[in-house]
Amino acid sequence: MIRKLFKNLSRLAPGRLSMKALRRSKAPAHEPEIHKGSRLGIDRRLISNAASRTVEELQRAGFKAYVVGGAVRDLLLGIRPKDFDVATNAEPEQIQRSFRRARIIGRRFRLVHVMFGPETIEVSTFRALQSDDIELDEHGRVLRDNVFGEQHEDATRRDFTVNALYYDPVSDQVLDYHHGVKDLKGRVLRMIGDPEHRYREDPVRMLRAVRLAAKLGFEIDRATRRPIREMADLIRNVPNARLFDEMLKLLHSGNALEGLTQLRAEGLHHGCLPLLDLVFEHRDPRGLDFVTRALKATDARIHDRKPVSPGFLFAALLWNLVNERWLQRHGQGEHLIPALNAAIDEVIETQLDALAIQRRYVSDMREIWLMQPRFEKRQPATISRLMEHIRFRAAYDFMLLRAEAGLCDAALAQWWQAYLDADADERSALIAQTKSQRVPAGSPRRRRRRKPGATSGGSESAGPSPSD
């Protein structure tokens, strides 16, 4: 016992040992429920080689090491995890020394990234329960916490019972400290500890509860759900980068529509996606239909393991606002493309801070939006430039969704589908057919009367393309 006490003392900076930490060092370890992974349905073929090698190397060096968190949850549900985390009693410097390619990251929590080719395994040291040594802000959010502890403490520090499971792929054992296996079978998402206190520690846990419930089809435990609406404003205190990361996870969950609907139902959208009120209460039902189709198409791509563009997703969420302002400006006499550019600038300026969208995605959104009127200018040179654009496929899919929702003429989408499937002669024939036809209606175009004697600098109905 004395040896264990001195070990805990050595982990802390001089003069920073609290009485809580001292009492904790004398507390007996909690014994977990131990299950055989194969009996619970874990298929070892779903475990990445990098994760297994990380665990094996740490154990070979004399440390405890387990695959932990969402990866274990997904393995028990028969889902191939997207990434793997490992937890160990080795400290960051010890972890780093055990691998050829590893680096320590993080300020709030010190972690180690272990790299095997293109795959990175995130390795964390078991955390101690909260003590006087943890730095908090005025709202109770944890700012810095690098006090290491025992495995049972680390399990208690995790958010939900289904995420507090530890799996050893070497011995095929699952360690369960908080009846997470039972909650998995019951499809219940339950917070470990007092939910109100845990949400103050990290308000992102409220977003995570909604996201995981939507993704997994779980029911949020009543006590876990109760404080969320009252504490939703704490989301505003979370750094934009963390909020954006959590929103991307929700949109890439494969159940984005259900997740956003639940986010709004709990009042959490005010701190990260305030535009959801405008999306779900849009006065034109076609606008809601468009967003719904975009989210369902994204979910389908996720389930088919196809790539998804964040820029496309946010372009879809914000399109109704852009389109509304575009119509308004063009109706007041502004030319087509300048009106669209002004509408885009206005929406981005008012929504960027609230959404915390990274600027690299903003440029993708702008390009997708600006290419929409160019689909209607079906001339050989314009078509050629359009198809060579790096965002052509995303913009094309966007136009198809607009047509499906009735936001542009279905004939336009049919023409482009036929053109992309045609050979050279058939494409020439399709272009020739459009020369004697008016450009399909459905976009925010309006012919303006020219003053007597005015000359036309181009087709007002089609509008100039950004590259003209």
Degrees (nearest 5) of the Cα angle 128, 133, 138? 110
Contact 155, 118 (CB under 8 A): no
Q: Which residue has the tokens 């001339």?
A: 379
129 and 241 in a single domain? The answer is no
CA separation for the pair 463, 341 (Å, rounded): 13
Domain end position, chosen among 131, 163, 186: 186
The amino acid that residue 238 corresponds to is V
Query: Residue 173's pLDDT is what?
Result: 97
Distance CA 327, CA 43 (A): 54
Q: What pLDDT does residue 363 have?
A: 92
Residue 138 tokens, joined: 């005025």
CB environment 401-439: b (16+ within 10 A), e (fewer): bbbbbebbbeebbebbeebeeeeeeebeebeeebeeeeb
d(CA 359, CA 345): 13
Structure-token pair, residue 426: 């058939």
Q: Which residues contact 49 (CB under 8 A, 6 or more apart)?
A: 116
Same domain, 107 and 234: no
Q: What is the pTM of this model?
A: 0.74
What is residue 114's predicted lDDT score, i.e. its pLDDT?
97
Q: Is residue 37 domain-resident?
A: yes
Q: How far is CA 193 from the centre of its chain?
A: 26
The answer to whether residue 329 sits within a structural domain is: yes
| Same domain, residue pair 162 and 38 | yes
CA angle 464, 466, 468 (to 5 degrees): 60
Give yes or no: residues 155 and 204 share one domain.
no
DSSP string, 345-382: HHHHHHHHHHHT--HHHHHHHHHHHHTTGGGG---HHH
Residue 354 is part of a domain; what is its CATH number? 1.10.3090.10
In a domain, 466, yes or no: no
* Pairwise CA distance, residues 445 & 362, whole Å: 25
Of 85, 154, 176, 183, which residue is the catalytic one? 85
Q: Could you give the CA distance from residue 356 to residue 207 in angstroms, rounded to a whole number?
A: 15
d(CA 131, CA 147): 9
Count Cβ atoms below 10 Å from residue 194 Cβ, excluding itself: 11
Q: Is residue 6 part of a domain?
A: no
Is 137 assigned a catalytic role?
no
- Region of residue 117 (left: phi > 0; alpha: psi -120 to 50; beta: else): left
Query: Residue 211 is which amino acid?
Result: R
- Among the listed residues 74, 145, 159, 221, the single catalytic one is 159
What helix, strand, coil percent values describe the chain, rounded to 5? 55, 10, 35
Question: Is 446 among the domain residues?
Answer: no
Q: What is the pLDDT along the chain (468 residues), one digit of tens a residue?
A: 444 444 443 333 333 323 333 233 333 447 899 999 999 999 999 999 999 999 999 999 999 999 999 999 999 999 999 899 999 999 999 999 999 999 999 876 789 999 999 999 999 999 988 655 555 555 444 445 568 889 999 999 999 999 999 999 999 999 999 999 999 999 999 999 999 999 998 999 999 999 999 999 999 999 999 999 999 889 888 887 788 888 888 888 889 888 888 888 888 887 667 667 777 776 778 888 999 999 999 999 988 888 888 999 999 999 998 999 999 999 999 999 999 999 999 998 877 766 667 788 999 999 999 999 999 999 899 999 999 999 999 999 999 999 999 999 999 999 999 999 999 999 999 998 887 564 444 455 444 444 444 433 333 333 333 333
Comparing C-alpha atoms, which of 180, 175, 211 is closest to residue 87? 175
SS3 263: helix
Same structural domain, 241 and 315: no
Q: Quote the pLDDT of residue 8.
A: 45
Residue located via tokens 């003053």:
451
Residue 24 within a domain: no
Do 159 and 80 lie in a common domain? yes
Quote the CA–CA distance of 272 and 260 in Å, as a whole number: 11
Do residue 302 and residue 385 come from a single domain?
yes
Is 390 in the same domain as 313?
yes
**The pLDDT of residue 466:** 35
| Residue type at position 468 | D
Domain count, the chain: 3
pLDDT at 457: 36
Give the domain-ending residue among 241, 265, 289.
265
Are 148 and 287 members of one domain? no
CATH number of the domain bearing residue 68: 3.30.460.10
Question: Is 465 in contact with 375 (CB distance < 8 Å)?
Answer: no
Residue 83: active-site member: yes
Q: 339 and 410: one domain?
A: yes
What b-and-e string marks burial along 274-292, b requiring 16 or more CB atoms within 10 Å of the CB? ebbebbeebeeeebbbbbb
H or E element in which residue 261 lies: helix 256-265
What is the number of residues in the chain?
Answer: 468
| Residue-level pLDDT at 459 | 32
Are 114 and 64 found together in one domain? yes
Residue numbers of the domain that contains 395: 277-435
- Determine, yes or no, domain membership for 154: yes
Determine the Cα–Cα distance for residues 113 and 101; give it in Å rounded to an integer.
Answer: 8
Radius of gyration of the chain (CA): 27
Query: 107 — phi, psi (to 5°)?
Result: -120, -50
Establish if 84 belongs to a structural domain: yes
pLDDT at 433: 85
Contacts of 112 (CB under 8 A, 6+ apart): 92, 95, 96, 102, 103, 104, 105, 122, 123, 124
Which residues, in sequence order, are CB contacts of 417 under 8 Å at separation 6+?
400
For the CA atoms of 253, 258, 259, 263, what is the dihedral angle to 10 degrees?
170
- Are 288 and 412 within one domain? yes
